[in-house]
Copies of this chain bind each other. A is one copy, B any other.
Amino acid sequence: MTRWAPDAPARLEQAAIELFASRGYAATTVPEIAERAGLTTRTFFRHYTDKREVLFLRERDFPRIVSELLAAAPPALTPWGLVMHGFETVVSRDFDGWREGMRRRRAIIRSDPHLRERELLKSSMLSRAIEEALVARGAEDAELLARLGSAVFDTALDAWLDDDADPPLLQVLRATRARMLRLVD
């Protein structure tokens, strides 16, 4: 047990989500978030580089996770199969059950372009991690593959969050991948 209440980052995240949801992102200030978490403004900025970042605590590990996943994947896969294998694995492990929380978070993010911007940067960093993992395995066209994979994944995620029937995300992802094949020529 440490001297301070533990998990300052998580407490700040929780306080921020509550305030953003109730009075809006732009209308809540960092001092307000810090106070609700029982901390000071300065401490907020020690854990998060800026006000937007507090909504993306979970995303911090994504690039590393995907990177490890791709490095450990079966060697026989095609490059595109490898990319989709990574997404399918992480999706089966980490996503189902979080749907409601993700919906709430998405509603906040959609309410402000600054948050949308940060979300796009996170997605782009994930794409970059995929690209590097592909290069490490000697694949060609890593940049294009990573971007296409991200496009399919992001679209699947949106469809999953919008679908009130709440199917498994893995199923939506595979369907989106198949849709893509039918569309392009």
- The interface of chain A, by Cβ under 8 A from chain B, is 78-81, 113, 116-118, 120-121, 124, 141, 143-145, 147-148, 150-152, 154-155, 158, 176, 179-181, 183-185
Contacts and interface: CB of A to CB of B under 8 A. Distances in A.
24 contacts: A80-B183, A80-B184, A113-B121, A117-B118, A120-B120, A120-B121, A141-B179, A141-B183, A143-B158, A144-B151, A144-B155, A144-B176, A144-B183, A145-B183, A147-B154, A148-B148, A148-B180, A148-B183, A148-B184, A150-B151, A180-B184, A181-B184, A181-B185, A184-B184
Contacts of A158: 143
A124 B147 CA distance: 13
A124 B78 CA distance: 29
A160 to B, nearest CB: 13
Contact of A147 (B78, B144, B151): B151
A113 B53 CA distance: 13
Q: How many copies does the complex hold?
A: 2
A155 B184 contact: no
Contacts of A144: 151-152, 155, 176, 179-180, 183
A155 B143 CA distance: 7
Chain A contact surface mostly:
helix
Contacts of A176: 144
A181 B183 CA distance: 11
A174 B176 CA distance: 24
A180 to B, nearest CB: 6
A78 to B, nearest CB: 6
Contact of A148 (B113, B120, B124, B151): B151
Contacts of A185: 78, 80-81, 181
Nearest to A118: B117
Of listed A120, A155, A180, A184, residue having the most chain B CB within 10 A: A184
